[in-house]
Chains A and B, each alone.
Chain A
Amino acid sequence: MRPAGERLAEGGLAASALASSLVTVAILLFLLVMGLPLLRGGLILQLLGGGWQPDQGQYGIAPMLAGTLLIAPLGLLIALPLCLGVSALVTVLGQNAVSTFIRGFVRFMTGIPTVVYGFVGVFLLVPLVRELFGHGSGMCVLSAALLLAVLISPTMILFFTEAFAGVPESYRRAVDALGGTRVQALVYVILPQAWRGVLSGTIMGMGRAFGDTMIALMIAGNAARVPDSLLDPARTLTSHIALIKAADYESLEFKSIFACGLVLYLITAVLAVAVRGLARDKGAVR
């Protein structure tokens, strides 16, 4: 018989776990209920495929979908090699003092509010991109993706370093015994062993990249048009939701926000389930 206090604590923890998962479900429920008129009338397809011109009664979210699908994956593409490199340096290749410093710094970076990155981006990155490429205002897909890469890197690096560190020490010793270098250990042993952790971290970073609002809102330029190039301004689903504030609740303009919310929810849900799917196998490093 376990003491009553322990059971009480367990019950409390279970209740809070249940409550937080119910909130997640409630959000989906809310989005679906609010968005149902769209799903029913087939309006959703029109919204997903159409452009955004409120003056002409067009409330499509296609440009925003394009903006999100461009900026988030591009940010990830920039961040991925960077994070792999930093993680390798910290766990496998680096000196102890250097790796401790970088590790601490990365942890510190996870705590920096997004708006600070956005602000720095407006004053440093945007003018740089504008002058460097001489095209447009500098508020563009590229600037937003670069800054997003900075934003998601700390999370990814923490995941990667954990995955690398989770590779059994004996494997590395085996490489040493065979006369392999550290780089060889990384490329032929550690990376193949830790790939699940790397994938999980990447998907986590991707989720953050898709969900971020502030950086896109401040840096991407918010033009509601499908960008022709990486130097064109674009608007993401998240910043679109932030920009359309208090229209008539019955209007199509307002309902289109729920289409944005649903699409975002689905993207994040699929990513979350994918992480769980990858992590469930025994031996996976998380």
Chain B
Amino acid sequence: MKSRSMAVGLWIVMALSLVAAAGCVDADGGTGEERPVASAGGGTVGEEAGDAQAAPAAGAINIAGGTAHIPVMTEVQKRFAATHPAVKISVAGGGSGVGIKQVGEGLVEIGNSGRTPTDEEIETYGLVLHRWAVDGVAVVVHPDNPVGDLSAEQLVRIFAGEITDWQAVGGPAHAIDVYTRDEESGTRKVFVDKALGKGAITGGANVVVSNGAMKSAVAQDPYSIGYVSVGHIDETVGPVALDGVAPTLENVKSGVYPVARGLYSLTKGEPQGVVAEFIAYLYTAEGQEIITAAGFIPVSE
């Protein structure tokens, strides 16, 4: 009996809220100003960011965005914390799109991006770019896969879903499992633009959400093909040469390997206080060492 009236009540409340919603929108003629707190990638940073904005000297650095940057960021965070114990630093992923968006909206102090922000993004948000490394994006397969070299055309056709068996490119007779990144990824953007010539990626591709996840997915699956930041390559994955050019650090540095990009840390306006110190640290000898150790080519200011 009681639960029946509850069910009825529930329906009434839902109906009322429908009416209220409609009225609400009619009244202010639009909902453009509604701003949800950005989700997933940098979910943890919301509250702290607010405090930091009110008093930047209080010493909180929230970092979000590019996942290729994360190993460098966490290492710098560790060293930085030793000399600045009062500064609270958090590092989150989310992808380059998230980094650009969140720093632009003032949700984080530093937004990382593995692609150059568009002119529109720079202008709208007043972004200042700090490019501290050059990185390549490499095609990777399972280390046991004998395929170590692909032509540009083969690569485009594999990712477009036209070549579907490894046998067609000199591998084992087995279907190819294509792995790609989500649309926020700067690595994906650079890969599509420079390695695929803006070619399409098959809708049947598995989607993973970070460079780290891509590496473990490819390492797990003997028939995989994917792409990661050159800095993330280790013995668990097999790098694939493009038209005979191996994705090594040297080839990226010399410009022979074409699928390269800058790694950026972005701030909204010129960085101030501890944020400026944090970014400056990336360009010190110690910072450049960390960047080199992470497998990137450091860029001096």
Q: A residues touching B (Cβ–Cβ < 8 Å)?
A: 21, 25, 28-30, 32-34, 36-37, 51-55, 63, 122-123, 126-127, 130, 134-139, 217, 221-225, 232-233, 235, 241-247, 249-250, 253, 269, 273, 276-277, 279-280, 282
Whole-angstrom distance from the CB of A67 to the nearest CB of chain B? 12
- Residues in A whose Cβ lies below 8 Å from that of B7: 273, 276-277, 280
Which residue from B17, B35, B220, B221 sits with its C-beta under 8 Å from A25?
B17
A29 touches B17 (CB 8 A): yes
Scan residues 187-214 of chain B and give those whose CB is less than 8 A from a CB of chain A.
200, 203-209
Q: How many A-B residue pairs have CB under 8 A?
A: 131
- Chain A residue, CB-CB nearest to B7: A276
Query: Are A139 and B10 CB-contacts (below 8 A) given A34-B34, A55-B200, A245-B95?
Result: no
Q: B residues touching A (Cβ–Cβ < 8 Å)?
A: 1, 3-4, 6-7, 10-11, 13-14, 17-18, 20-22, 24-25, 31-32, 34-36, 38-41, 94-95, 97-98, 100-102, 174-175, 177, 179, 182-184, 200, 203-209, 216-217, 220-221, 223-224
Which residue from B24, B38, B208 sits with its C-beta under 8 Å from A245?
B38
B13 touches A25 (CB 8 A): yes
Most chain B CB atoms below 10 A, which of A222, A223, A245, A269: A245
- Residues in A whose Cβ lies below 8 Å from that of B217: 137, 139
A224 touches B17 (CB 8 A): no
- Residues in B whose Cβ lies below 8 Å from that of A247: 97, 101, 183-184
- Residues in A whose Cβ lies below 8 Å from that of B203: 51-53, 63, 223-225
A33 touches B208 (CB 8 A): no
B3 touches A276 (CB 8 A): yes
Whole-angstrom distance from the CB of B192 to the nearest CB of chain A? 8
Q: Which 5 pairs across A and B sit closest by C-beta, in order of nearness?
A: A222-B207, A225-B203, A246-B101, A137-B177, A32-B21
B25 touches A136 (CB 8 A): no
Most chain B CB atoms below 10 A, which of A235, A241, A242: A242
Whole-angstrom distance from the CB of B216 to the nearest CB of chain A? 8
Give bound CA distance, A277 to B223, whole Å. Answer: 50
Which residue from A37, A233, A243, A246 sits with its C-beta under 8 Å from B206?
A233
- Chain A residue, CB-CB nearest to B201: A55
Which residue from B20, B97, B204, B216 sits with its C-beta under 8 Å from A29?
B20
B221 touches A276 (CB 8 A): no
A137 touches B21 (CB 8 A): no
B221 touches A137 (CB 8 A): yes
Give bound CA distance, A137 to B94, whole Å. Answer: 24
A280 touches B3 (CB 8 A): yes
Most chain B CB atoms below 10 A, which of A126, A221, A253: A221
Give bound CA distance, A249 to B174, whole Å. Answer: 42
Most chain B CB atoms below 10 A, which of A21, A134, A137: A137
B4 touches A280 (CB 8 A): yes
- 17 contacts across the A-B interface (CB closer than 8 A): A28-B17, A33-B21, A34-B36, A63-B203, A221-B207, A222-B207, A222-B208, A223-B207, A242-B40, A243-B183, A243-B207, A245-B101, A246-B100, A247-B183, A269-B14, A276-B6, A280-B1
- Residues in B whose Cβ lies below 8 Å from that of A232: 204
A137 touches B97 (CB 8 A): no
- Residues in B whose Cβ lies below 8 Å from that of A123: 220
B14 touches A135 (CB 8 A): no
- Residues in B whose Cβ lies below 8 Å from that of A246: 38-39, 41, 94, 97-98, 100-102, 184
B38 touches A221 (CB 8 A): no
A136 touches B175 (CB 8 A): yes
A21 touches B13 (CB 8 A): yes
- Chain B residue, CB-CB nearest to A24: B13
- Residues in B whose Cβ lies below 8 Å from that of A269: 14
Most chain A CB atoms below 10 A, which of B3, B11, B36, B221: B3
Whole-angstrom distance from the CB of B106 to the nearest CB of chain A? 13
B10 touches A245 (CB 8 A): no
A138 touches B97 (CB 8 A): no
- Residues in A whose Cβ lies below 8 Å from that of B174: 134
- Residues in A whose Cβ lies below 8 Å from that of B221: 127, 130, 137-138
Query: Are A225 and B17 CB-contacts (below 8 A) given A36-B31, A245-B184, A279-B3?
Result: no
Give bound CA distance, A36 to B19, whole Å. Answer: 12
- Residues in B whose Cβ lies below 8 Å from that of A241: 39
A223 touches B204 (CB 8 A): yes
B94 touches A273 (CB 8 A): no
B36 touches A127 (CB 8 A): no
Give bound CA distance, A53 to B41, whole Å. Answer: 22
Query: Are A223 and B206 CB-contacts (below 8 A) given A135-B175, A242-B40?
Result: yes
